Amino acid sequence: MRKANTAGTVSKRKAGTKTRPYDVAAYLSTPEDMAGYLDAWLTEAPDDAAGIARALGDITRAKGMTQVAKDAGA
């Protein structure tokens, strides 16, 4: 993409840094990690029901839905 600078000439725009979405579930690999993550939410934002629900969802994704269903007896 070209962009005019203050002198009125056209310069090439440098390519930006490529990013990808951060997924905390990828870093919750042990029961201790999961417990610590949930504990942090409960300690830092105990009144944030949406945040706590999101943390539980992250933990569920980290464990895998199959394992959660197995643990629940389904």
Q: Tell whether the model's pLDDT for residue 63 goes beyond 80.
A: yes
pLDDT band with cut points at 50, 70 and 90 for residue 68: confident
Q: Which contiguous run of DSSP H or E holds residue 66?
A: helix 65-71
Q: Tell whether the model's pLDDT for residue 55 goes beyond 80.
A: yes
Mind listing the pLDDT tens digit for each residue in 1-51?
555 555 555 656 667 889 989 989 988 988 999 999 999 999 999 999 999
Mean pLDDT of 54-65: 91
> Counting runs of H as helices and runs of E as strands, what totals does the chain give?
3, 2
Identify which has the larger pLDDT, 29 or 68: 29
Domain ranges of the chain: 23-74
